[in-house]
Amino acid sequence: MNRADALSRLHEFDRAHRLIAHASSVLQWDQETGMPPRAVVERSEQLAALEAVAHERATDPRIGELLERLGSTSSDPRGDDSLPGLERDFLRVLRREYDKDVLLPVEFVASCARDEGLSQAAWIEARKRNDFASFAPHLSLMLDHAKEKSRLWGFGSSPYNGQLDLHEPGMDERAIATCFDALRPRLSSLVARISARPAPDTSFLDQEYPVEAQDAFGRELRTDLGFQSDRGRLDLSAHPFTTTLGADDVRITTRYEPRNLLSGLFSTVHETGHALYELGYGDDLRGSCLADGASMGIHESQSRLWENVMARSLPFWRGRYATLQARFPKQLNGVDLEAFYKAVNVVRPSLIRVDADEVTYSLHVILRFDLERRLFAGTLEVADLPHAWREGMKKYLGVEPARDSDGVLQDIHWSMGAFGYFPSYALGNIYGLQFWRALRRDLPRIDESIEAGRFTDLLAWFREKVHSKGRRSDPAELLEATTGETLSADAFIEYLERKYADAYSL
């Protein structure tokens, strides 16, 4: 078999695996958006069966043989240096996935998928009833599965690193802790300075905003930002998310609250940011393992930047506020642009991460990172999480949830076994502002475009610099190629200090 044939066969194996994974995503999306509650047991069995098939395909010994034939090894994953660059990047990612997959027994993979489906359903009910005790056994099982995966992958002495490596290649617990240890005091200092100033009036937000009008505004905005309705859709779920069911089928969800206009609005923009990334992979990556985000931190840089840096900016609301007022003439009557802009950017320590302002948000993430580290180190038991959560919220944010639904039960991630994911949100803030600084150098008149409602320049820059690259580079390589910088929180902090110095007259 020559090299061209070997590459062709590898692409066939990879394509088959992607198709099965996307089919599984259809079932998971349906479970979150429309499945009747009593269907959860069989749905979990369906997901387990599909996961087993996908795993068997992904670990076919012929994949390993073809990788070897092309010179791709664990120590030199990109293979023969005479191969085209795109194919070498494909080999690197496929080798990484294969090396991880072959270490997991198929029965274990199926069991994890089955238990994950039941866990998510249990979380939804526990959150509704404020009943952590009913969810705790599922969470314990998810934690056990995660630790076992880490052990099988060779992270027995540092199991949390095994989970972090899934979401942020090249980053480990020590590197993230170092980054967060530097970020936390600077954020806390800024929060303290802002808290000493008079808070803007937000009373006009504390009234009924009809959900139908919220949805109409969100759908219009989503389209204007560049989301293609013939390649995706928007639905409702308990926790907003984005999932890819195919190269031309990206689903986003949001949730609306009648007395919380900003929650649904910014959740929709956040998930649209994710979707724009998913829809922007280059045609040369289509259908392969390269058609994915460079890391979850890079993915979150897109959602966090579109949500906060763009959609909470003064240029954005100069161009969009009249449209919002037209949707809610009674509620926003007499509220001028400056008052609305300040209310949108109010800094106030709060209980719910997804509704947090951009100054306090990363403190929510750092709390979750600390709790996960302790869970994996064995110094914190699942049963003690509610208390540890309340103590952490009081320490980092000065607020304490009265209900677990507003505390330890608020996020879906742990019910899915997605440990090590949370740090990506704060890393996304950091990556995002480094990208934004580079973008403003290239597009010095970007504020004018945003004010005019022209988002094509913004999207085109990210399409070229980030989206089209997919997984061809690790996050550190992509960041340096795009910005000329290594990871640093300086751009993020400088952006916050500049913006809120103006908003709060610091």
Chain-centre distance of CA 35, in angstroms? Answer: 23
H helices within 70-105, ranges in order?
85-101
Q: Which residues contact 333 (CB under 8 A, 6 or more apart)?
A: 325
Q: Which residues contact 431 (CB under 8 A, 6 or more apart)?
A: 297, 298, 300, 301, 475, 479, 487
First to last CA, the chain: 69
**Angle in degrees, 0-180, between the axes of helices 361-377 and 173-195, rounded to the nearest 10:** 140
DSSP class of residue 308 equals: I
Question: Coil, strand or helix: which one is 427?
Answer: helix
Q: Tell me if residue 271 is catalytic.
A: yes
Question: Which is catalytic among the residues 87, 271, 307, 358?
Answer: 271
* Residues 503, 489: Cα–Cα separation, whole Å: 21
HSE, CB side, 13 Å, CA atoms: give it for residue 108: 15
Q: Are 271 and 311 in contact (CB under 8 A)?
A: no
- Residue 23: exposure state from Cβ atoms within 10 A (0-12, 13-18, ≥19): middle
* Residues 376, 136: Cα–Cα separation, whole Å: 16
Q: Are 406 and 425 in contact (CB under 8 A)?
A: no
Structural element, H or E, at residue 361? helix 361-377
Question: Coil, strand or helix: which one is 236?
Answer: strand
The dihedrals phi and psi of 22, each to the nearest 5 degrees, come to: -70, -35
Structural tokens at position 96: 């990484």
The 8 Å CB, 24+ separation contacts for 236-240 are: 236/33, 237/32, 237/33, 238/32, 238/124, 238/127, 238/412, 239/32, 239/354, 239/411, 239/412, 240/267, 240/268, 240/270, 240/271, 240/354
Kindly report the number of other CB atoms within 10 A of residue 497's CB atom. Answer: 16
Residue with tokens 């926003």: 332
* Residues 328, 21: Cα–Cα separation, whole Å: 42
H helices within 379-445, ranges in order?
385-397, 423-442
Residue closest to 351 by CA, chosen among 388, 304, 398, 307: 398
Catalytic residues: 271
